[in-house]
Amino acid sequence: MSRIFSLKFFLPGVFICGLLGLGFWQLSRYEEVSVIQKQFQATLNRPPTEFETLKTYTDFQPVIVRGEYLHYFEISLLAKTHQGRAGVVILTPLKLANGQIIAINRGWTPSPKGIQKPRGPVEVKGVLRNYLKDTGWFTPPNSKGAWHTMNYADLKSFWRHDLLPVYIAVDAPQDGLYPHLLTNLGKNDPQKHIHYALTWFALALALTIMTFFFLRKS
């Protein structure tokens, strides 16, 4: 009898622990997004700095950089959405005067065929971003014909140049492009993660109550 009781309690207990785990994970996400938002706002309010004068790279720091786009190495990151529309993000290497290159996230477009390709010296204004180390379990690997993530090692191998360890996201794109989601992290509301956490905790509480009455009835 006690064994049957234990089995009846085991499965609900697993689900309750899982729901609580999701709730605490959302609380940790709230802390992460809050830190990112504060960092974003603190750096974005600064005037842009000449990129060549930087000695250290700070995430979200506004910068100005000059060079020439290498359009023959341009990459379209697939399956990216903007305001509910499917499209691609244009990633173009910019060659600096010292021969190094830096990746420029030029923004989102529904089709790469409709964008302009500036030639000759250009001036780019945007924010510095660090490359993401974790691309997700379900993200396909990059290949020459299909790019899905901004993986630093893949880009450096493909472009075969001295690639800098940061990239620039253009926050006010031109040439037929729109801002990419990654440049708007500071506009994310961390409070939504509190709402998600409360939802998971409420489900855990409801399941706990249901389990209590079920076992009591049994």
Proportion of the chain above pLDDT 90, given as a percent: 24
Proportion of the chain above pLDDT 70, given as a percent: 86
* Domain edges within the chain: 2-36+192-217, 48-187
Residue 178 is given by DSSP the state: B
- At 17-35, the pLDDT tens digits run 888 998 898 888 888 878 8
Please state, rounded to an integer, the average pLDDT across all residues of the chain: 82
Give the C-alpha separation, 57 to 173, whole Å: 22
Give the C-alpha separation, 141 to 214, whole Å: 47
- At 55-114, the pLDDT tens digits run 998 888 889 999 999 999 999 888 787 777 888 889 999 999 999 999 999 988 888 887
Give the C-alpha separation, 89 to 78, whole Å: 7
Q: Which of 68, 74, 96, 95 has the alpha carbon at shortest distance from 177?
A: 74
Q: Packing angle between helix 2-44 and helix 191-217, nearest 10 degrees?
A: 170
pLDDT at 96: 94
Given a cut of 90, whether residue 186 has pLDDT beyond it is no
pTM of structure:
0.68
Give the C-alpha separation, 119 to 121, whole Å: 7
Residues facing 125 on adjacent strands:
64
pLDDT at 1: 47
- Token pair 């996201």 is found at 169
pLDDT at 50: 94
